[in-house]
Amino acid sequence: MADVFVSYARSDKSRVAPLVAAIETQGWSIWWDPEIAPGQEFDRQIAAELKIAAAVLVVWTPNSVESRWVRGEAREAAERGILVPVRFENASLPIDVRALHTTDLDDSAADARSPSIQEVLRALGALIDRQRTASSATSGSRPESSASGRVAICVLPFANMSGDPEQEYFSDGITEDIITDLSKVSALSVVSRNSAFVFKGRHVDVPKVARELKVSHVLEGSVRKAGGRVRITAQLVDGSINDHIWAERYDRDLNDIFSLQDEISAAIVKALKLKLLPEERKAIEQRGTDNVEAYNLYLMARHLYVTGYESDPRRAEAIIRMCVRATEIDPGYARGWALIAVGQMNLRFAQGGGDGGMAAAERALALDADLAEAHAVKARILADIGRHDEASAEIDVALGLDADSYEVNRSAGYLSYRKHRLEDAIRFWEKASTLLDTDINSCGMLISCYWAVGNAEGKLRAARLSLARAEKVLAQDPNNAMVIAYSVYALGALGDAERATERMKRALLIDPDNWNMRYNFACVLITGLNEIDAALDMLAPEIERATIGRLNHVKVDPDFAVVRDHPRFKAMIAAAEARLVTESHGGTPPSH
């Protein structure tokens, strides 16, 4: 089995050879078989190698674009989510892969150190790491029921068949809702979203998935949304014998999406010969809104939330806009109000102003007092303004309502961190990082916690996971300064000072005024590079304009423990506190 399968036109062999050499220097195995005879590309060996490769590198040239073999290999790789395309001579790409980021190599293919080649290597590395992580985490298991005797099931990410990558949010949202619905059935043990989404975009061997995840059954399907209609196909497979025990195709008006989801959940329970209790049926049918347009907007905002980064104010503003519109359509949509609160909380943390989402959180709880995410965000808001006892009470309620919620565990981690209860913070952030595969921030916070408590093994493990997730993003968006910052922090923890410094310089050129990025750089300069003066230089302009939430975070962050008594650091904190007091009195210093 090769890590990388290379798809190319044989007439371009001289162009491909330097790429192969660059890949091999990374220690990865590669399959490109330059001796294969023309016309035999799709023999059994090629088909087998293509199927098991972790990544497929397609080299587009005017020659390869005309090859139906190359186009076919590219389509299969794209469907599995493992395609890494490169291009020479500005070749016109096939229409079905134009939406994918393609790296142009005309000026750099012969230089393995060039930014373009490094971008390609990062993209390949992220895919290879993903496959290795999935394999190592679940090797040696077999399909079975859970230890509690419940039937164990995995819901694989439903494929987006809409022909529009921007509709990915909808198919992901449907998948998440089905996972949530089935989790409410006491007779079922459902694999978490994070574990299931490892297989997103990949062609899977169902019995192998069942063995890896220790489940007896696997649900897979697809979603197509277009023109006010939605088509969902779903099939439930017995993983031990690879046999379909239920399959159905639904073609409905989009307004029927809620009843359609209920039907799918009920059909699965029936196919497994399980009993759905009345209270479980009621819980499944509770959608929070009956308005499809509001639901669609919420799914868009939710997708942006789970695939973005907490410190990005533009992302927070977009989430707020979408959810405000959703709650205008349905004022009783509690989940919409709760996500507004998350966006407003993050926006105030970054820029100051507003109530930090308190009113929206209160509105969500007035509509649904049992909404765990609303209690969690309220706890974060209360902690930011120093009302720690109330924050603790809210997070306790949230954990009691849904201890497996990503948002709840993230918030519980922050509250524990603020109280310097680092072992508790580690426990919550470890769980959060397993619940959402796009969560880089929790991994970064784990690096900080493990460093503070002296757990070197935990720090390295968190750093490796953080770097792998960051590299996956950077493979598609190499100029994402915030994600570069996460990778710099991870590299510092891993002891790779050279790469950390190089990336830091690049990110500062891309986005010099990014507060959170500079904050992370100050942390790594202290904990990873031992450059105290440089760290204070990096931090100074940001503390000068810090919001109260940010300043409170700086004051408890264990990364700054070694500078806590540094005269310059103490003067910066004191000046910021005085400024915030003045601002709280309308710009006039308080009287004594």
Residue 186, domain CATH: 3.40.50.10610
Whether residue 534 sits in one domain with residue 564:
yes
Residue 332 φ/ψ region, left for φ over 0, alpha for ψ in the -120 to 50 degree band, beta for the rest = alpha
Whether residue 191 sits in one domain with residue 112:
no
Check the CA dihedral 327-333-336-338 and report its sign: positive
Whether residue 166 sits in one domain with residue 280:
yes
Whether residue 168 sits in one domain with residue 134:
no
pLDDT tens, position by position, 222-256: 999 887 889 999 999 998 888 888 988 888 898 88
Amino acid at 61: T
CA distance 75 to 552: 50
Q: At what angle do helices 334-351 and 548-556 cross, to 10 degrees?
A: 70
Whether residue 126 sits in one domain with residue 22:
yes
Whether residue 589 sits in one domain with residue 448:
yes
The stretches of 81-167 forming alpha helices (DSSP H) are 115-138
CA distance 248 to 531: 61
Q: What is the pLDDT of residue 325?
A: 97
Do the domain assignments include residue 488?
A: yes
β-pair partners for 272? none
Q: What is the pLDDT of residue 44?
A: 57
Give the three-class secondary structure for 188. strand
Do the domain assignments include residue 74?
A: yes
Domain boundary among 138, 172, 193: 138
Number of structural domains found in the chain: 3
Whether residue 582 sits in one domain with residue 445:
yes
User: With a cut of 70, which residues of the chain have pLDDT below it?
Assistant: 1-2, 33-45, 48, 96, 99, 108-112, 131-149, 309-311, 585-592
Non-local (6+) Cβ contacts of 75 within 8 A are: 96, 97
Task: List the CATH number of the domain containing 533.
Answer: 1.25.40
Closest by CA position to 200, among listed 307, 89, 336: 307
Give the three-class secondary structure for 408. helix
CA distance 452 to 527: 10
Whether residue 155 sits in one domain with residue 128:
no
Structural domain boundaries enclosing 104: 4-138
Residue 511, φ and ψ in degrees, nearest 5: -145, 70
Whether residue 507 sits in one domain with residue 566:
yes
Non-local (6+) Cβ contacts of 252 within 8 A are: 229, 230, 231, 260
Do the domain assignments include residue 425?
A: no
Q: What is the pLDDT of residue 43?
A: 54
Whether residue 589 sits in one domain with residue 535:
yes
Task: List the CATH number of the domain containing 18.
Answer: 3.40.50.10140
Q: Which H helix or E strand runs over 347?
A: helix 334-351
Centroid of chain to Cα 266: 30
Q: What is the pLDDT of residue 135?
A: 54
Do the domain assignments include residue 555?
A: yes
Domain boundary among 261, 287, 313: 287
Residue 288 φ/ψ region, left for φ over 0, alpha for ψ in the -120 to 50 degree band, beta for the rest = left
Distances (CA, A) of 322 to 160, 319, 329, 337: 22, 5, 11, 11
